[in-house]
Structures are given as C-alpha cells and as structure tokens.
Chain A
C-alpha cells in the first residue's frame, strides 16, 4: 500500500475498496500495523477515526472498544468486524487482497 511512515503513529488511515467496504489501517504505539473493515459492528461507525491504544481502537461514535487483532468487540459488547491480514516488508505495508475484496459483490 505504501511505506509505514505514511501512517500517523497511534492513528489510522483509510483505503477505499472499489465496490466494497472501506478499510481502516491502524498504527499502534510500538509500530505495529493492523487493518479492519472501517465499520464498527455497533452502528457502522468509522473505526479509523477512533482513539488507538494498545491493540485496541475505541469507536468514535459510541465508544465500543474493538480489538485490532481479532476484530471482536471487547468488554460487554458483542460483535465482530472483518480483519484484513497485513504484513510489513522492508518498511512497506502489504495487505491481503482477497480479504480486502471479500465484500465486493
């Protein structure tokens, strides 16, 4: 997708998927990168705009906490958002194409 340094630390950016669900790609404090479909399992809030802490993102709309690793809602909430596999190779971000396109009809 591009070099890791294009992601704000403790932040996220978005990747639109033509004909499918937008993807949010996150950067944690220690430099790890994760990607989820950019849709909170609660009411489809844009997870990319949440606060990232540890390996969790807190949804900006109603504060559900979603695991970046499993896509599952944490705590009392239930729900799950698809996880897109990510790999870093030589400082560049690679992303699982098939999973990213899974929502394309």
Chain B
C-alpha cells in the first residue's frame, strides 16, 4: 500500500482551516494532513475577537473547529510551534522546536502582521496590537487594572477595539490621522455621523491626529501628538493596518509582491506550494476580509482535488461590529466620471444612505443607521444588474423598489398617497390638510406654509408640498418657488438654511448637510463656502470652521491673481500710514521680487506678484513692522476710506480720519456675506466717496449723516439715507448694528446693495433706527462675534500654522542619463 501524499498547512487560522475543510469535503481520503499553528490553541473565528473583547462572546463561542474535528479527520495539529523554515529542494518544513516534516503539497496560510508605526516608544510595555487571542488577553488585563486607553487608528479594527475597551470600563481616546473615521469604507458624511455617535457614547475621537511619540518609563504613560497635545494612557492599542506575513515565503525564495504571488488556483511560483488568505496577492489585490478567503479556499480545493475552477477575485463589503451602530459599505464610492450619487438623509432617524450608480449598474453603497438593505445592494452590485427600471426607488430599499412603488413621476407618487399620509413631520400635517389648504385658496408655497404650517419648519417636505400644489391646481399652478435654493445640492433656500442653523443649533457643515437632507455627499463649491459663513455668523466662537470650504483667497489670506501669484495688502487704518510702514512695504517688495506696488481704490498699498511659497515670510516681515492683514482678499470688511477732514481740510467739519480709524478698528476681521466697504467724508463735498459704499458717513456741522447700500461695482448704486446721528459713538453703534443685520440676514454672496433693494429701506430703518432695543441687541451681537474674529490670520500663518499649504510637496526632475 502506497502512503497517501502528505499535505502540510502552515497557519491554523481562518484560511488554513477552511482550505482543509474544502479539501475534505471534496475528497476526504486524498491526503494525510498536518496543520502547524503558531498560536497554542485550536482554530477559532478571528473576526469574533471583537465581540469577545466587548464581553459579548466567550472563547468557546468562537471556536470553529475543536480538537475532536482534528482527531476525527486524522489531522495532526502542531500548535504553539511555528514553522521557521521551508526547504523546497528536499520538501521539508522545520518548526521552532526542531521538528522536521516532509511534504508533497504545502499550503501557506500565514495571514498578516499588524503594522506598527515606528514612533519612539512603540516597544514600551503596554503597547499592543489587535490580532489574536493573546492581544485580547493583554487588553483585558489592562482593563482590569483600569485607567485610560488610547487606540491609534480609526478604522474598522481600531473602532472595534475602542468599543470593547470602553465597554470594559476604560476611558478611551481614538486617534485617527485622517479627517474622518473609516475613510476607506465610509464617505465623509457617514464618517462624521459615526464620530458623533461614538462621542455620544463617551469616547473621545481625535481626527487629523498624528502621533509623535509614545512615552513612559518602561511602561506606557501616554501619547504625544505632533501638534503638541498630550494624552495620558496606560494602554495603547495600535490598529493602523496590516501587512501580509510573507517572511517564510520570502526566505524560501517564492515570488512575492505585496503578498505571495498566486495564480487562479492559488499555486505559488513553486508548483508544490500553494498559498491562501491574507498573505497572498492575486491579480494585484490583497484582501483583509474573510469573504474573499472563502472564495479562494474553494478554488484552491477545486484545483487540488477535483475540477479546476479558478479564482477570479472578490468584491468586498464591510460592516462594523459595534453594537447599536449600523454601518455598511461595499464597492467603489469614490465617484468619478459618469457616476451618479443617489443620497438620502433622514435626520430624524439618523439615517444616511448613498448608492453610487454608473451605466445603470450599482457600483457602490454606503449606509449608516439603517443597513437593512446592505445585502440587497451588495447583491445588485455583484450581479451587475441593470437598475434603470427601479432607479427612482432604489434608495428606498428593496421592499419599496421591488414592491412596484417605483414611479418616475414624483407628482404621480404624491397623487397616489392616502389622504391621511403625513406630509410634514415637524408639524404633523397630513396630505388631506395640505390639499384642503390649497383648495381653500393657498396657491403658493408661502401661502400653504402660512395656512397649514406644512413645510414651515425644517422644510424637508417642501418638494412634496410643491408636488401637491402641482397635482391639486393642475395648469393653474404657478410653478415652483422663485426664491433660489442655495445650490443644486439642496431644495432649501438661503433663508431656510440660516433659520435652521439657528433653530436646530447646527454647528458643523456635515451636521447641516445631514439635518437638512443634502442630496450630495460633500456639497459643492457653491454651498460649502455659504454654509461655512452661515455657521460662523450664527455661532461665533463655537462653530467648526472648515478651511477647505473657503475660497482660495480666504484660505491663503492673500489675493490670487491671473498668473497664479498673489498680492498682499497690509491694513492701513483709515488709509493713514507712516515712514516705518512704508519702509517695511518697500523692503518686502524688494526682498520678494514684487512686480508692482499699487495704491488700491480703497487707499491701501497692494504688493503684487508674490509667490505662494513666500507668503508666510512676507507676512512675518509686515507683522514685524506692526501691520496686520488687510483682508483685501476676504468676504469681509475691506477698508474704511477717509478724507483728511477737520484736522487739515479747510472745509472739514469733523475728524473724518479719526472716525474712520475708529470704525476700522471696530470692524476689521469681520466676515460678511460679501466684501464690505466703508467710507467717512469730512463734509458734503464727499472726497472719500462715502455714498457708493456699503456704509457711508458724511460729517456735517451738526453731526453725522449715515447712509447704506452703495456699491461702485458692476452695477453702480448710490447709498440710501439711513438717518442722522449727533455723536461719533452713535455713528459707530449704528454701523455695527447695520453690519450685523446684513451679516445675519443677507444671502451669501449678496452685496448690501441687492440685499437692501430686496428687503427695502423701510425694513432696515425699522430695525436700525426705530427699534432702539433691537439695534442695541444687533450691536452687541456684532461686538461679541468680533471678540473671536479680531485675530490676525497672517500672524498665525507666519508662525507656522498650515505651513504645508504654502510649500511644494516635492520636485520632479527629469532623470539624468549617465
């Protein structure tokens, strides 16, 4: 009797054992089998380590194959004894204990090694990875000792570790280098929701956090970030990624890329050696999830035992195993040419869904909060099914889309709704009530809002109400609203958005997008700057500023010019300067090769032709001479233009220069819906051209004439007279109140002129002149906001903030041929 061929498997993990199961299922008698495992235990379900850490499972629950399985199938398990060498010539493996076995076929299933960032202190006691039972053991011991934990890495694994540790009673901080969590699986919107949810559970999540070092005397005491922040901790879990474990294969000289190279039957460059699982690279891909391993194991067994059925790669989907937080992602969600995003946000249920469709096929899906349809989308994706028929209902899920609820015409869908179906959730208004209001004479959206309150709160049902108007009125319907929406990403108007930001206490852009049902994942170049401004205005000092949602000028604190260089305008209060400032400006112009220095329309000096890289140094020099940013680039207070007034001019009635300086000192740094200019003239001759400014002051013998809404731009507009006041202080107070009213009520990118025309001077006088209490409230809100805004952005940049933005990343040079 000839002996059966000997099959040795290195790796007693998920793929190694599954491969054996598949082989046994095809032909149980074909091989004599031995499995070597580095871990001193039987085969268990690695993905259940997270529930084990969280205390939701015990080790017995997660064993896949117990000792009896090895025995029953005649498999020799050599556990706790890793293989240290393979000799391909004589076909043997050697284990650490010195044990040598010869093989006919060898399967490598060595999995991955966790990646360890080589920061100082990475080898201190108390720094662990999250990969196997021993790691879980270390974490549980640390949890028993109590204290704080830091998890480095806000991906799937890191978040599961953090969840487990916080359930075990540790105070956990997650450090993630990217701006949103799980950025490989989730888009920005879903990542943001996840962060909110985890913070709601008491974890601290720091994004954009780059670890500088782990410190401690022999044992971990804390983590220091590159920005200087310091987080004390007695346990640090590194979960920043994995790397295929190819040590043995490399030593045996097999072909290796990122992983061990295998063909469609998982055969390596040596015909007698196969490899499977996370340690392999197939067709350029390596996988870090279980589902593809199952596919691989089937193809491996087919090739070894029966009909060859090649492996062709896998599409993957991910779920986060954190109880109570449902997250799902599959396929490609990075968008691109020809991709369409279908986005649904349901703020009240905390749901975000995004399905990406290309050429009528689903190519990706991201679900947060309601993942019930995840598998259905994943299935559509894998089968590459044509979804054009169900496209309109796709986002509502399987039940809806396949239940015939799909209808291309939203009006028809609304017409088909029952009378008692709810239209407006905020105010509990049914379809019947809306229709009654319409037939009762409310033939515009605003009339419906006034009549029955539908769509008058959050406004997310505006589209439905408009459909009802269309259905009910037929041809008489005047059409949808003419008030413009912020942009194509939303059906909300600027006014709706501003009102909601205040009423709902929204303080960050992703939060606004979620609450107000934005239909794109991260907005566009129109809405993002607008939202950023609205948040700034509503919550000075509290809102989360998003630099990437500002136009380049505000991002770089300088004016971009047509050739891509910048110009720089230092502030000259009231247009007044002195020899020291002039010298500094001249020096800067020379030192940095400025191509022109020009007096601007607003009486300031503009230095042209500065390179982006030089900006911080330019600012440092100007700061050193006592000058700050002139904000000549921002949607903000630009300049206060003045004439020389009573101090020098024979006609001057008041100190227009002095008042201009005071005004500028009060208002500089304030961001606005658009640029804002002020001027003060010392007499009605108006040398400072105060009557074409957003806010103009004409000094007269008996006081100060104030006027607003002027504009020297494309459409010339003279100011409208607001009122006359007696004192400088009043002039300043009215100015602050007017600015605040404009800041709070105008649409983003409206200058004061169109805004004043839209709302009317009567309204403005009512708010500023006639309402003393209201004016005082506006003024104090303005000054409150200014207490946060008046810091010089140049100084921060000159001191090194966002330094990278100004530097090239690297230079590319042609290769020099030797």
Contacts and interface: CB of A to CB of B under 8 A. Distances in A.
Interface of A: 1-2, 5-11, 13-20, 23, 25, 28-32, 43-46, 49-56, 58, 60-61, 63, 65, 67, 69-70, 72, 89, 91, 95, 97, 100-101, 104
Contacts of A25: 809
B564 interface: yes
A55 B688 CA distance: 46
Question: Among the interface residues A11, A13, A51, which one has the most CB atoms of the partner chain B within 10 A?
Answer: A51
B335 A54 contact: yes
Contacts of A56: 524
Nearest to B560: A60
Contact of B525 (A6, A13, A53): A53
A46 B564 contact: yes
Contacts of A60: 551-553, 560
A76 to B, nearest CB: 14
Given A13-B804, A25-B809, A32-B334, A49 B814 contact: no
Contacts of B520: 53-54
Contact of B180 (A18, A29, A63): A29
Contact of B812 (A15, A31, A32, A45): A15
Contacts of B805: 8, 11, 13
A63 B552 CA distance: 11
A57 B562 CA distance: 18
A30 B334 contact: yes
B548 interface: yes
B552 A54 contact: no
Contacts of A46: 560, 564
B186 interface: yes
Contact of A58 (B525, B809, B812): B525
Contact of A6 (B552, B562, B809): B809
B528 A1 contact: no
Nearest to A55: B335
B337 interface: yes
B183 interface: yes
13 contacts: A5-B177, A9-B180, A10-B179, A14-B612, A29-B180, A30-B334, A49-B555, A50-B525, A51-B551, A55-B334, A61-B560, A72-B337, A104-B814
Interface string B791-818: 0000000000010110111111111000
Given A5-B177, A32-B334, A15 B525 contact: no
B560 A8 contact: no
Contacts of B341: 54
Contacts of B153: none
A43 B187 CA distance: 32
A68 B166 CA distance: 41
B226 to A, nearest CB: 10
A1 B548 contact: no
Given A11-B805, A65-B525, A30 B564 contact: no
Closest 5 CB pairs of A and B: A58-B525, A10-B548, A29-B188, A60-B552, A46-B564
B395 to A, nearest CB: 17
B642 interface: no
Given A9-B548, A30-B187, A69-B336, A18 B813 contact: yes
B184 interface: yes
